[in-house]
Amino acid sequence: MFVWLSRLFLAALLSIAGVLKLLAAQHSHPPEDLDLGWMAPFFEPQVVIASALVEIGLAIVLLSRAWRVSMLLTLILSLSFLALLYALAERGVGADHCGCFGAARVQPGTHMLLLLGMAVAAAGSLAIRREPARHSASRAR
């Protein structure tokens, strides 16, 4: 049950984030007064669109039979976004300028909580071993 609920939670969150990014992709340039350094290319419209399409793709695959691969990629993606938010915070840039949810403003605490929740849900789902169906053992005999 945990795995299925995690798949639904992550698929919904990734879909919402992806769609909101696509809606705001043309206006994804951060304010020019922010010093982003090496992170500036991540805010280019092409990268934002690619990121949004990856998120929507992961959401679709999470609901398919190949969900484990998507779950692993979602774990990597959420940890990468957490690292990016940390790097932005180190430069004094607030999480409200990250664009993870397009133009929607999300409070920094909520943002970090969502990303940590994504990472925990993905890691927990991957850690749970799927038991073989009982009837499949009787067929093997």
Whether residue 140 lies inside any domain: the answer is no
In which domain, by residue range, is 88 found?
2-128
**Mean residue pLDDT across the chain:** 82
Number of domains in the chain: 1
pLDDT beyond 90 at 57: yes
Whether residue 97 lies inside any domain: the answer is yes
- 83: Cβ contacts below 8 Å, ≥ 6 apart: none
Whether residue 44 lies inside any domain: the answer is yes
Predicted TM-score (pTM) of this structure: 0.79
Whether residue 138 lies inside any domain: the answer is no
Whether residue 58 lies inside any domain: the answer is yes
Alpha helices per DSSP H over 1-141: 2-24, 45-62, 67-90, 108-127, 134-139
Whether residue 53 lies inside any domain: the answer is yes
Whether residue 68 lies inside any domain: the answer is yes
Whether residue 10 lies inside any domain: the answer is yes
